[in-house]
């Protein structure tokens, strides 16, 4: 996790009151910690792993397949649920999926304004900032500014489209394929794709072959 993201998540995590469930979980964690049965750092490490590594690997494989197989990409953009299921990813929180493609002229951003609906089968656990009230409201009212805070500066003529997930329908962004990746296979491409790029708060950087 980058310093920027850590600060961003910390800011949002403290910008909203904890829910009843979150309060119960924290109380339970505190009791277990005091009894020496739980190491808070270990719990945080496990959560971070599932948020940023294990969960999003499914989505990264979907994107890599779409980048490598034009016919699969067509199916993915036409019927995201079925195309994602072709790779074995489906289930609760991912029953109805729509995949939207980032292009040179259009940038897509995901949010859930009512709560924190999120495509678990493809992206894993939702990050803290995605569930926060400030992100949920500002992503709609001032998406360009929110993106800039994540380090994404878009040309003034780039159209930004915000997609609001619901309990019935969830979205996933198909990022632009970075330049310099033409000779990479699916496995190598999947390693380039991040969770944040599939939410829309990150743009993947071109590959500089001379830097290797």
Which residue numbers are catalytic? Answer: 112, 115-117
**Are 134 and 12 a contacting pair, CB within 8 Å?**
yes
Q: How far is residue 125's CA from residue 7's CA, in Å, rounded to a whole number?
A: 19
Q: What separation in angstroms does the CA of 81 have from each of 5, 60, 97, 153?
A: 30, 15, 5, 31
Contact 122, 57 (CB under 8 A): no
- 46: exposed, middle or buried (C-beta count within 10 Å: 0-12, 13-18, 19+)? exposed
């Amino acid at each position: 996790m980058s310093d920027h993201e850590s600060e961003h998540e910390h800011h949002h995590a403290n910008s909203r009151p904890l829910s009843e469930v979150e309060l119960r979980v924290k109380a339970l964690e505190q009791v277990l910690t005091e009894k020496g049965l739980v190491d808070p750092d270990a719990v945080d490490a496990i959560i971070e792993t599932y948020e940023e590594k294990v969960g999003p690997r499914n989505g990264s494989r979907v994107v890599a397949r779409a980048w490598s197989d034009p016919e699969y990409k067509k199916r993915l953009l036409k019927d995201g649920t079925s195309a994602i299921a072709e790779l074995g990813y489906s289930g609760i929180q991912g029953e109805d999926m729509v995949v939207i493609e980032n292009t040179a002229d259009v940038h897509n951003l995901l949010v859930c304004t009512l709560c924190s609906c999120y495509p678990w089968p493809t992206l894993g656990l939702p990050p803290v900032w995605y569930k926060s009230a400030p992100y949920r409201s500002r992503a709609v009212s001032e998406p360009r500014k929110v993106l800039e805070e994540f380090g994404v500066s878009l040309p003034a003529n780039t159209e930004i489209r915000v997609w609001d997930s619901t309990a019935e329908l969830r979205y996933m962004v198909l990022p632009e394929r970075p330049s310099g990746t033409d000779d990479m296979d699916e496995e190598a491409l999947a390693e380039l794709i991040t969770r944040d790029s599939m939410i829309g708060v990150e743009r993947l950087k071109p590959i500089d072959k001379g830097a290797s």
